[in-house]
């Protein structure tokens, strides 16, 4: 049980307060179905354009029906961010936690790139787009995105730090800098894929990231 909690520490699961009032199975199922549609819509049109009225129109349900689940536009946006987080955990984070150290670091990177290339969200990586959209917008939505992205970078850094402690990464390597570079390359792949419709963006990013990790490892550990 403790190990499962540690696995989810990077991107914590939905707070219990977020589900207050929606404990019944039917209510939970309806809410999750709404949020999945909302995440896809937000990935294409942006979070700021996601309103209760816009979502109600897309789903062909009444605004009052959505207000029963989300009290405001900001509540809806925060719930969508949390839903995207949960999907990201299942696609990227959790599968990597069966490994440790260098293997975990590589798995996190490979899973992220596969998730981006596969377009789990129709508009590409949800958090890449949301980070750019809300980087200068104060408020709860931005705060939540910042928190989640810090945790993601912390995942990369901790995996690299564990690899360093195990002798898989050289002692002089700045693991925080390594995590920053990995994330920058991954974000660049998503940007190039979306803006230029570059079919080779994720392949190029994968090669660059694996090369950067190899540069940080001891020669005997390279490409294990």
pTM attached to this predicted model: 0.83
**pLDDT for residue 95:** 98
Give the phi and the psi of residue 8 in degrees, each rounded to 5: -85, 0
pLDDT in tens, 80-139: 999 999 999 999 999 999 999 999 999 999 999 999 999 899 999 999 999 999 999 999
158-189: b (≥16 Cβ within 10 Å) or e: bbbbbbbeeebbeeebebeebbebbbebbbeb
pLDDT in tens, 194-207: 999 999 999 999 99
Lowest pLDDT segment from 54-58, 107-111, 161-165 = 54-58
């Amino acid at each position: 049980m403790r190990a499962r909690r540690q696995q989810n520490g990077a991107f914590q699961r939905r707070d219990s307060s977020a589900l207050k009032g929606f404990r019944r199975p039917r209510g939970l199922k309806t809410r999750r179905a709404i949020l999945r549609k909302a995440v896809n819509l937000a990935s294409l049109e942006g979070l700021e354009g996601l309103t209760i009225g816009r979502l109600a129109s897309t789903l062909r349900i009444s605004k009052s029906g959505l207000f029963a689940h989300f009290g405001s536009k900001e509540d809806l946006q925060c719930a969508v961010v949390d839903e995207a987080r949960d999907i990201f955990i299942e696609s990227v984070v959790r599968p990597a936690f069966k490994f440790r150290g260098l293997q975990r670091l590589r798995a996190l990177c490979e899973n992220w790139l596969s998730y981006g290339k596969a377009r789990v969200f129709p508009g590409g990586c949800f958090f890449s787009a949301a980070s750019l959209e809300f980087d200068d917008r104060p408020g709860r939505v931005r705060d939540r995105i910042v928190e989640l992205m810090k945790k993601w970078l912390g995942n990369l850094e901790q995996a690299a730090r564990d690899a360093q402690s195990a002798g898989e990464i050289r002692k002089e390597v700045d693991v925080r800098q390594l995590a920053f570079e990995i994330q920058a390359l991954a974000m660049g792949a998503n940007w190039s894929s979306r803006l230029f419709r570059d079919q080779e963006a994720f392949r190029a990013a994968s090669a660059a990231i694996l090369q950067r990790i190899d540069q940080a490892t001891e020669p005997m550990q390279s490409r294990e």
